[in-house]
């Protein structure tokens, strides 16, 4: 999975009200193919994507365009319109007009949504700057973990998750993961900063790698409350992949270091787990946030709540935040096509390059399984106002 020690995450943004419930009238015939290639508009401003080339294409060049449940992406589009970056509005005034219409509208069907988009946007293939390079890139996946925890040490729940220490801003870099486990000074600085305790050190690592997660806080009487632990900083140590460490140790073969494989190795060699964890010196600290709507994902780098299977993390030098993106890839462990409209709403330290995306699967067991195995070929197109 991706190395997402990355998000200064989550608050909810409901800045505009009264935008839902207005039906979208069918906008008439879609543009003719010649105009689909983008020749009828000014095109995207190059300063908005300095690390990629955008090539105007026809709608027919988007594989599976007519088969997607496109209406499912509408809410994600509206959220992006609420937080459209100022530089995007400045370079492309048409965005403001499109977003004003999107925030007032509510499509009645997938066909209505496609027609609305095709009338207002033009598609562009995303390509590397190097004209000799392949137009195929990489799709990985990420998700929001859901883990049982306790506010106090109890039974098997003994692995702490910490809020930032008071001296985090003044001591750079802060103590490493191994030093936190062994040095009295590091332990003293974190005393009283425990937010919750989990049972498995790999669950704690997973929360840190993903940058946030949901924890189900189980009380002694069996009652439970689910909250979100959001990214609040890290110890300024370099990130090292434990999957890479297992490969270097000869424990896993290249290409096998998925999250399920790492968990399986840890079950078979529990005494070596501390050694594996120490290979990654970076530690992430959290803050607790309420979970007012369990259907909303964490806040991404754009500043909006992520939508399961409709949000992606991108390199913002290649695609501006808020951009609608058509992806052509496959699901992990199968040849099932994954072709759909998504929104560029997040980023990550490992997400670098023109044709590069990290697909947000959501939360729960299926999301963890899919995200942990996803490493697929990818083609991308952006939709840009005409």
pLDDT digits (tens, 9 = 90+) for 207-249: 998 888 999 999 999 999 999 999 999 999 999 999 999 999 9
DSSP states of 293-305? -TTS--B-TTSSB
CA torsion sign for 77, 80, 84, 88 is negative
Q: Could you tell me the pLDDT band of residue 32, with boundaries at 50, 70 and 90? A: very low
User: What is the tens place of the pLDDT at every residue in 279-328?
Assistant: 999 999 999 998 888 888 988 999 999 999 999 999 999 999 999 999 99
State the pLDDT at residue 162. Answer: 98
> By three-state DSSP, how is residue 39 classified?
helix
pLDDT bracket for residue 335 (50, 70, 90):
confident
How far apart, in whole angstroms, are the C-alpha atoms of residue 165 and residue 178?
A: 16
Tell me how far CA of residue 226 lies from CA of 188, 210, 290, 295, in angstroms: 29, 18, 8, 13
For the domain that residue 326 is a member of, what is the CATH number? 2.40.40.10
Residues 165 and 268 in one domain: yes
Whether 194 and 209 map to the same domain: the answer is: yes
Domain that holds residue 110: 52-141+297-385
Question: 259-281, pLDDT tens digit by residue?
Answer: 889 999 999 999 999 999 999 99
Asked whether the predicted pLDDT for residue 39 surpasses 50, the reply is no
At residue 42, the pLDDT reads 53
Query: Is residue 224 in a domain?
Result: yes
Q: Which of 250, 269, 289 is the last residue of a domain?
A: 289
Return d(Cα 15, Cα 19) in angstroms, integer.
11
> Is residue 35 assigned to a domain?
no
> 371 and 275, same structural domain?
no
Q: What is the CATH number of the domain that holds 185?
A: 2.40.240.50
> Whole-angstrom Cα distance, residue 262 to residue 50?
37
Q: What is the pLDDT of residues 151-209, one digit of tens each?
A: 999 999 999 999 999 999 999 999 999 999 999 999 999 999 999 999 999 999 999 98
Global model pTM greater than 0.85:
no
In this prediction, residue 30 has a pLDDT band, given cuts at 50, 70 and 90, of: very low
Tally of domains within the chain? 2
Question: CA-CA distances (angstroms) from residue 159 to 24, 46, 241?
Answer: 51, 48, 20
> What does pLDDT average to over the chain?
87
| Token pair in block for residue 21 | 């419930």
Q: 154 and 205: one domain?
A: yes
pLDDT over 70 at 101, yes or no: yes
What percentage of the chain exceeds 90 in pLDDT?
75
Residues 161 and 223 in one domain: yes
Q: What confidence score (pLDDT) does residue 43 get? A: 63
Let me know whether 149 and 265 are in one domain: yes
């Amino acid at each position: 999975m991706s190395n997402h020690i990355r998000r200064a995450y989550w608050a909810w943004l409901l800045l505009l009200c009264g935008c839902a419930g207005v039906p979208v009238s069918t906008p008439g015939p879609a543009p003719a193919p010649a105009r689909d290639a983008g020749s009828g508009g000014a095109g995207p401003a190059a300063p908005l994507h300095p690390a990629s080339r955008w090539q105007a294409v026809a709608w027919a060049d988007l594989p599976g365009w007519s088969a997607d449940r496109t209406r499912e992406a509408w809410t994600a589009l509206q959220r992006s319109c609420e937080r459209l970056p100022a530089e995007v509005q400045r370079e492309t005034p048409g965005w403001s007009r499109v977003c004003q219409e999107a925030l007032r509208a509510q499509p009645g069907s997938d066909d209505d949504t496609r027609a609305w988009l095709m009338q207002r946007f033009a598609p562009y293939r995303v390509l590397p700057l190097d004209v000799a390079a392949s137009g195929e890139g990489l799709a990985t996946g990420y998700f929001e973990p859901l883990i049982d925890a306790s506010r106090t040490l109890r039974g098997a729940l003994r692995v702490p998750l910490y809020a930032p220490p008071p001296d985090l801003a003044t001591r750079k870099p802060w103590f490493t993961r191994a030093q936190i486990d062994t040095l009295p000074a590091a332990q003293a600085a974190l005393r009283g900063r425990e937010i919750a305790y989990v049972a498995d050190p790999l669950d704690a690592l997973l929360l840190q790698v993903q940058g946030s997660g949901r924890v189900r806080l189980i009380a002694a009487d069996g009652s439970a409350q689910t909250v979100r632990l959001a990214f609040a900083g890290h110890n300024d140590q370099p990130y090292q992949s434990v999957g890479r460490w297992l490969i270097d140790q000869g424990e896993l073969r290249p290409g096998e270091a998925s999250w399920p494989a790492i968990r399986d190795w840890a079950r078979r060699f529990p005494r070596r787990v501390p050694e594996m964890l120490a290979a990654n010196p970076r530690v992430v600290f959290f803050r607790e946030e309420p979970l007012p709507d369990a259907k909303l994902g964490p806040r991404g780098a754009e500043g909006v709540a992520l939508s399961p299977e409709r949000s992606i993390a991108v390199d913002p030098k290649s695609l501006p935040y808020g951009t609608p993106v058509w992806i052509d890839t496959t699901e992990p462990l199968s040849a099932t096509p994954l072709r759909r409209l998504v929104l560029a709403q997040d980023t990550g330290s490992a997400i670098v390059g023109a044709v590069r995306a990290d697909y947000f699967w959501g939360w729960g067991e299926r999301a963890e399984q899919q995200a942990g195995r996803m490493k697929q070929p990818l083609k991308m197109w952006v939709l840009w106002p005409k």
